[in-house]
């Protein structure tokens, strides 16, 4: 009996002609991506066919699982975890000043969940969770799987970077998409995000899908389409998922950079009653959804109360401090952050040349300022300067005048500070009347 030979061009032709792909066809193609038997041109052709013709939820789930299974997949029961352990994570599509993962891992773990968080580095105008953690001296972001599991078992949470063994097929697929203009394909974005997240063996997931002038999805409509796709595909793959659509039309919180965002994280956890209101709102919304999804709260409202209690009684701060220590960071980071976190030496406040109320800001441009100061990267292999950035950043609706700075700017020297300040001033609009503000969480999508 003859065995049917897998031909990549047959899969490409089928998707090109708008026919659904079977699980076997998708799995064979993904195996070819991982073992190099499928060429870059064939990957590009399938990517373009999906870009124009889309995928069903079943196809998306099959693609996600095939890319997940192209590398290591953590099976928590094999490491002694109970099959009913509430293993939950959160993923953000990226923004400027987004340090939410640090607070969430600590808060949700303090409430009894298991939070194995695998995060990424920044590229372009958005900052990376791993880059920010590496502003902490000694913090090892690249633990191998046994060490990662050990920290999670001992402590309930750990944040590490993506290893080369995590969904390697996705890494190659994305590299080809990046140079063939198919990055924006919602089915492929969905599979790329979920393949890496599901490799962590999650039981549930909460997505923070950002929209606005500081997000990759600029409109609420685009964000909703992505959020619905992720929820649909993740659910089909067996992982109950929610997606929160959140506003990214301004810097999130009062800092943007690397060391400065760790400073803000520490202050948030130690003094939550003094935290920026928008930042606290999104942290609470996401934590509540994660606790409900994990089965640790009967309702989202109860989850919010549990999260707030873990913040106010100091348990979340203790979780973050211990996680840093277990990863090799300083044991006294929370008490003495100035001993460990480097801030650029040329620091001066930035004043706007007009008085009134901040009505809008070009958030992407603000993120690009950090990149221009080497606080972010334009190419994946670039080193970054953790010490530059902004703190004390005012929000839309805040009043400014000749004595009220919009932020404190940390730069390496006067020339860098002047360049950054000039660009920042142009990125902020001031109006005579205070603008009306909308809530940061605009919609929640559930299965």
Closest CA to 245 of 275, 220, 278: 220
> β-pairing, 88-92 with 204-211?
parallel
Distance (Å, rounded) from C-alpha 132 to C-alpha 240? 29
Distance CA 317, CA 352 (A): 35
Question: 204-211 and 241-247 as β-strands: parallel, antiparallel, unpaired?
Answer: parallel
Q: Tokens 């066809």 sit at which residue?
A: 25
- Helical (H) or strand (E) element with 269: helix 259-270
Which residue carries 């005012």 as its tokens? 394
- Angle CA 149–151–152, to nearest 5: 65
Q: Between helices 277-293 and 259-270, what is the axis angle to 10°? A: 70
Identify whether the C-beta of residue 116 lies closer than 8 Å to the C-beta of residue 83: no
Residues 50-55: contacts with CB under 8 Å, at least 24 apart: 50/15, 50/182, 50/185, 50/187, 50/188, 51/182, 51/184, 51/185, 51/188, 53/15, 53/16, 53/18, 54/186, 54/187, 55/21, 55/187
H or E segment and range at residue 409 = strand 407-411
Tell me whether residue 306 is exposed, middle or buried, using C-beta atoms within 10 angstroms of its C-beta: 0 to 12, 13 to 18, 19 or more: buried
- 355: region left, alpha or beta (phi > 0 left; psi from -120 to 50 alpha): beta
Distance from the Cα of residue 165 to its chain's centroid: 20
Whether the Cβ atoms of residue 397 and residue 358 lie closer than 8 Å to each other: yes
Active site residues: 89-92, 129, 177, 192, 196-197
Q: Calculate helix-pair angle for 300-312, 277-293, nearest 10 degrees.
A: 120
Task: Find, among 286, 121, 129, 126, the residue nearest to 208 by Cα.
Answer: 286
At residue 244, the 3 state secondary structure works out as: strand
């Amino acid at each position: 009996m003859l065995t049917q030979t897998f031909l990549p061009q047959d899969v490409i032709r089928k998707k090109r002609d708008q026919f659904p792909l079977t699980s076997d066809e998708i799995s064979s193609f993904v195996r070819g991506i991982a073992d190099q038997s499928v060429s870059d041109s064939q990957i590009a052709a399938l990517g373009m066919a999906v870009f124009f013709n889309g995928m069903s939820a079943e196809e998306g789930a099959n693609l996600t699982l095939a890319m997940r299974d192209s590398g290591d997949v953590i099976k928590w029961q094999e490491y002694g975890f109970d099959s009913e352990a509430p293993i939950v994570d959160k993923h953000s599509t990226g923004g400027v000043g987004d340090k939410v993962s640090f607070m969430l891992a600590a808060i949700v773990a303090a409430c009894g969940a298991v939070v194995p968080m695998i995060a990424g580095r920044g590229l372009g105008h958005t900052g990376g969770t791993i880059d920010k953690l590496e502003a902490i001296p000694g913090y090892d972001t690249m633990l191998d799987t046994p060490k990662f599991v050990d920290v999670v078992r001992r402590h309930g949470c750990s944040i590490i970077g993506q290893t080369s063994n995590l969904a390697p097929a996705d890494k190659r697929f994305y590299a080809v998409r990046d140079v063939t203009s198919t990055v924006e394909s919602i089915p492929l974005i969905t599979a790329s995000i979920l393949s890496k997240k599901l490799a962590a063996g999650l039981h549930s997931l909460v997505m923070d899908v950002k929209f606005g002038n500081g997000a990759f999805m600029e409109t609420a409509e685009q964000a909703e389409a992505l959020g619905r796709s992720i929820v649909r595909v993740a659910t089909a793959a067996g992982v109950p998922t929610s997606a929160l659509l959140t506003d990214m039309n301004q810097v999130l919180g009062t800092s943007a950079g690397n060391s400065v965002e760790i400073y803000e994280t520490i202050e948030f956890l130690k003094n939550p009653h003094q935290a920026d209101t928008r930042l606290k709102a999104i942290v609470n919304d996401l934590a509540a959804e994660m606790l409900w999804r994990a089965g640790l709260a009967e309702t989202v409202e109860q989850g919010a109360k549990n999260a707030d209690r873990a913040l106010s009684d100091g348990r979340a701060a203790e979780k973050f401090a211990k996680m840093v220590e277990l990863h090799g960071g300083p044991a006294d980071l929370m008490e003495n952050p100035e001993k460990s976190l480097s801030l650029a030496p040329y620091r001066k406040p930035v004043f706007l040349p007009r008085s009134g109320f901040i009505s809008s800001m070009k958030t992407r441009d603000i993120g690009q300022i950090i990149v221009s100061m080497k606080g972010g990267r334009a190419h994946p292999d670039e080193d970054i300067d953790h010490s530059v950035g902004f703190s004390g950043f005012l929000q839309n609706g805040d009043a400014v005048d000749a004595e009220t700075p919009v932020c404190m700017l940390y730069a390496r020297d006067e020339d860098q500070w002047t360049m950054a300040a000039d660009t920042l001033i142009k990125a902020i609009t001031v109006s005579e009347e205070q603008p009306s503000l909308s809530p940061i969480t605009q919609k929640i999508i559930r299965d």
